[in-house]
Chain A
């Protein structure tokens, strides 16, 4: 087996509320939704009328700037409502589900015997294409490109992240089939990153037709961007694709049965969840289908629901919808209460990587962290801190500064093509100046993409 790639820099934030390994299948949600904001840069054009009946796999809308890419319904039912936000931006396309799913038949196929063109076509028609994303820019892949390699991370190190070994249980065959499909899309390799210590599933460690790389280390070792950097870094002009484990499974099912079966396992986690565990739901399920009655009610505490992990997820309502790329929902308390001399009093409930807080004396403790920012935004002052939480040969502060002054050459030179906002999430977490680092990275990616568009 290949040698272990050790990631030394990073941090596992000790949060309370990781999911117990119990899988439940809740009854169908009252509503499902596809959320265009989940897909960066998407400009949706609707394909269905309100009140229209849809099947699982019926196209709901397409991307105005990328007409081939359609977004399909995860369940069969009735398209009931369009939720718009500021400037009439489409936020949610809501579906009221039928009792039983009725699928559009895309035709089963053996990935080995059909052409690459047919595979691409099937992925596009079924609405699974958006599951394939690319670096640079961390956006949906383009059908015109042929990626240098494809990367999949088979372990998630984000705070309270689901255990993918548990999630994959029972879908091993579909996962392998999905890998077979993907290996047809590139002339390079399909790389699978596993955890040298914790990965147990043979679906990962014995996966066929791919190159398995073993990693060891704290978050963000499970981020695909970090793995790409250590396996085979991305250079200017190159394109690589990446996917989530569960989307590989869905792709496998598409080729196995010919349908878009959007079921996935979502972990409900966080300090505010009474019994954190796993749920098998369809993509875009309304949160209350799993969280109702399972969230701690405490006088004066407002829970914050996050689709995704606490570092990179999106804030949603109690009746919001699980995002397309998310296999985790986190519920933590809002930190909307002022605290007298809160910056000074050495509270034991606060977590910090800085030894100015007592948390470093209690490495065993798990925390119930809230959403308070703790301070207004300040310019960069402390140096040498971000480097400890970005395990890449990249100078984070210099890159951020290059982005802030929109120096395209400098951004390129400092490695912007290799990064995505999520890789900088820990930097944002530890930043004493409270700079919105992930937003800065996204802005840099957008600017550089525009520059070469």
Chain B
């Protein structure tokens, strides 16, 4: 370890320092250096000791939490494909098929996103932030596998610049960058992003091989169309063996991720629970006043279809774009659940409501916080009144 460190310190680092040939790339070098080593920097003022946690480790645990959904998604891509063309292949082939379709999307996302991150870190001369490590893994999981790679790149660059860097970078953004990427794709390229023909690889790349009468509609599309009979079974939706975005179909895999986030304390349990509560509340309300079949659908179905589970666990809990006060988090989460169902059930234009609901509540989170902060201030001012009237004792 010492030899490696010395090599980097003596042979590599000088090129990136002030007079080195590559001094422009210092921030890039530093990002890799700090990835490899926790530097020997010591505290100079304030607390002399510091908690072992840092952003890298925090973000790393979100990535770990995403792995079940990612692996399942890869397999499901292959499974759906071979189902669609009526071929019977074994598990490994299904997985490998998905792996080779999903991996390029991940690589393109990271390459384009990190390029922007490094570029801004260099221009602004600050350390490269770890935020994109998670964004770069989230985005591939919420797009259909048939998405052209150039679109991934365009969306990522858009999302990172408009969603994050224009506000000042990681920690300053108002909207969730990964969701903003997806919203951009959704509205800019609707043909590739909605309808029944984009969720399964074979539909786009080998339509001639599809078995007769095959429908690749997602459960939400089925619901929006109003024919509940062709809805997949609740078990299929829960396990995730249905068409959909790469990582969002399996509620089981997402729950595994939720377990990691909650056990490590990285993800906010408060938000997750209140989103579910909001969804259930609205679902039951629809059940009560049902005027059509969709509204009669059992409320819990909403939790296992579409992006509800994924959004709840990985998107709504983004600490930067969520509400930042404790009370605010309950309100924020609950309203995400409510708005998602409203969009799904009441608004015929959008079959999926999770993405828009979270983005919508991202915008409202500062307002919610504002009122929570007001309440705190009022409490403090209220404390003074009895003192002002009573003589001091």
User: Which residues A333-373 have CB closer than 8 A to chain B?
Assistant: 334-344, 347, 350-357, 359, 369-373
Decide if B92 is an interface residue (CB 8 Å cutoff): no
Question: What 9 A-B pairs are tightest by C-beta distance, nearest first?
Answer: A379-B171, A342-B38, A375-B54, A350-B52, A352-B52, A383-B324, A438-B46, A354-B53, A371-B42
Given A235-B384, A338-B5, A437 and B127 contact (CB-CB distance below 8 Å): no
* Cross-chain contact A431 with B51 (CB below 8 angstroms): yes
| Beyond A340-B36, A372-B40, A429-B50, 10 additional pairs, beta carbon < 8 A | A233-B383, A338-B39, A350-B52, A371-B49, A373-B41, A379-B168, A397-B324, A398-B325, A429-B51, A436-B46
Chain B contact residue count (CB 8 A cutoff): 64
* Cross-chain contact A359 with B41 (CB below 8 angstroms): no
* Cross-chain contact B47 with A337 (CB below 8 angstroms): no
* Cross-chain contact A311 with B48 (CB below 8 angstroms): yes
Decide if B123 is an interface residue (CB 8 Å cutoff): no
Q: Could you list which residues of chain B lie within 8 angstroms of chain A, going by C-beta atoms?
A: 1, 4-5, 34, 36-58, 60-61, 127, 129-131, 168-172, 263-266, 268, 270, 319-320, 322, 324-326, 329, 369, 372-373, 376-377, 379-381, 383-384, 387, 392-393
* Cross-chain contact A395 with B373 (CB below 8 angstroms): yes
* Cross-chain contact A351 with B52 (CB below 8 angstroms): yes
Chain B residues, CB < 8 A from A357 = 52-53, 57
Return A359 CB to nearest CB of chain B, in Å: 7
* Cross-chain contact B268 with A384 (CB below 8 angstroms): yes
Determine the distance from Cα of A374 to Cα of B381 in the docked complex, in whole angstroms.
40
- In the complex, what residue of chain B is closest to A376 when comparing beta carbons? B127
* Cross-chain contact A378 with B5 (CB below 8 angstroms): no
Chain B residues, CB < 8 A from A148 = 392
User: Which residues A389-442 have CB closer than 8 A to chain B?
Assistant: 393-395, 397-398, 413-415, 421, 425, 428-434, 436-439
Return A381 CB to nearest CB of chain B, in Å: 5
* Cross-chain contact B40 with A434 (CB below 8 angstroms): no
Chain A residues, CB < 8 A from B44 = 315
* Cross-chain contact A351 with B55 (CB below 8 angstroms): no
Determine the distance from Cα of A312 to Cα of B131 in the docked complex, in whole angstroms.
30
Return B314 CB to nearest CB of chain A, in Å: 15
Instruction: Pick from A236, A343, A357 the residue with the most CB of B within 10 Å.
Output: A343
Complex A-B: 30 CB contacts under 8 Å: A310-B47, A335-B40, A340-B1, A340-B37, A341-B37, A342-B37, A351-B52, A354-B265, A356-B61, A369-B49, A371-B43, A371-B49, A374-B38, A374-B52, A376-B34, A378-B130, A379-B129, A379-B171, A380-B171, A381-B131, A381-B319, A383-B322, A384-B324, A387-B326, A395-B376, A413-B377, A414-B376, A414-B377, A432-B54, A438-B47
Return B159 CB to nearest CB of chain A, in Å: 17
* Cross-chain contact A381 with B171 (CB below 8 angstroms): yes
Chain A contact residue count (CB 8 A cutoff): 77
Chain A residues, CB < 8 A from B326 = 384, 387
Determine the distance from Cα of A428 to Cα of B210 in the docked complex, in whole angstroms.
59
Given A335-B42, A397-B324, A434 and B50 contact (CB-CB distance below 8 Å): yes
Q: Please tell me which one of the listed residues B46, B55, B265, B387 contacts residue A235 in the complex, with CB atoms under 8 A apart.
A: B387
Q: Please tell me which one of the listed residues A338, A393, A428 contacts residue B40 in the complex, with CB atoms under 8 A apart.
A: A338
* Cross-chain contact A393 with B170 (CB below 8 angstroms): no
Return B319 CB to nearest CB of chain A, in Å: 5
Chain B residues, CB < 8 A from A429 = 47, 49-51
Chain A residues, CB < 8 A from B40 = 335-338, 372
* Cross-chain contact B42 with A336 (CB below 8 angstroms): yes
Q: Please tell me which one of the listed residues A188, A359, A431, A433 contacts residue B393 in the complex, with CB atoms under 8 A apart.
A: A188
Determine the distance from Cα of A353 to Cα of B53 in the docked complex, in whole angstroms.
8
* Cross-chain contact B42 with A432 (CB below 8 angstroms): no
Return B89 CB to nearest CB of chain A, in Å: 36
Chain B residues, CB < 8 A from A378 = 55, 127, 129-130, 170-171
Instruction: Pick from B54, B55, B130 the residue with the most CB of A within 10 Å.
Output: B54
Determine the distance from Cα of A278 to Cα of B172 in the docked complex, in whole angstroms.
48
Chain B residues, CB < 8 A from A425 = 46-47
* Cross-chain contact A379 with B170 (CB below 8 angstroms): yes
* Cross-chain contact A356 with B322 (CB below 8 angstroms): no
Return A109 CB to nearest CB of chain B, in Å: 27
* Cross-chain contact B54 with A434 (CB below 8 angstroms): yes
Decide if A332 is an interface residue (CB 8 Å cutoff): yes
Q: Please tell me which one of the listed residues B56, B168, B322 contacts residue A375 in the complex, with CB atoms under 8 A apart.
A: B56
Chain B residues, CB < 8 A from A161 = none
Instruction: Pick from B48, B131, B369 the residue with the most CB of A within 10 Å.
Output: B48
Chain A residues, CB < 8 A from B325 = 383, 395, 398
Determine the distance from Cα of A377 to Cα of B41 in the docked complex, in whole angstroms.
11
Determine the distance from Cα of A427 to Cα of B43 in the docked complex, in whole angstroms.
15
Chain A residues, CB < 8 A from B51 = 351-354, 374, 429-432
* Binary B-proximity of A296-312 (CB < 8 A = 1, otherwise 0): 00000000101000111
Chain A residues, CB < 8 A from B322 = 383
* Cross-chain contact A432 with B47 (CB below 8 angstroms): no
Decide if A187 is an interface residue (CB 8 Å cutoff): yes
Instruction: Pick from B43, B51, B325 the residue with the most CB of A within 10 Å.
Output: B51
* Cross-chain contact A381 with B47 (CB below 8 angstroms): no
Decide if A382 is an interface residue (CB 8 Å cutoff): yes
Given A357-B52, A379-B170, A429-B51, A437 and B265 contact (CB-CB distance below 8 Å): no
* Cross-chain contact B38 with A375 (CB below 8 angstroms): yes
Chain A residues, CB < 8 A from B383 = 233, 235
Chain B residues, CB < 8 A from A369 = 49
* Cross-chain contact A428 with B58 (CB below 8 angstroms): no
* Cross-chain contact A432 with B49 (CB below 8 angstroms): no
* Cross-chain contact B49 with A370 (CB below 8 angstroms): yes
Decide if A140 is an interface residue (CB 8 Å cutoff): no
Return A303 CB to nearest CB of chain B, in Å: 12
Decide if A448 is an interface residue (CB 8 Å cutoff): no
Determine the distance from Cα of A330 to Cα of B49 in the docked complex, in whole angstroms.
11
Chain B residues, CB < 8 A from A347 = 52
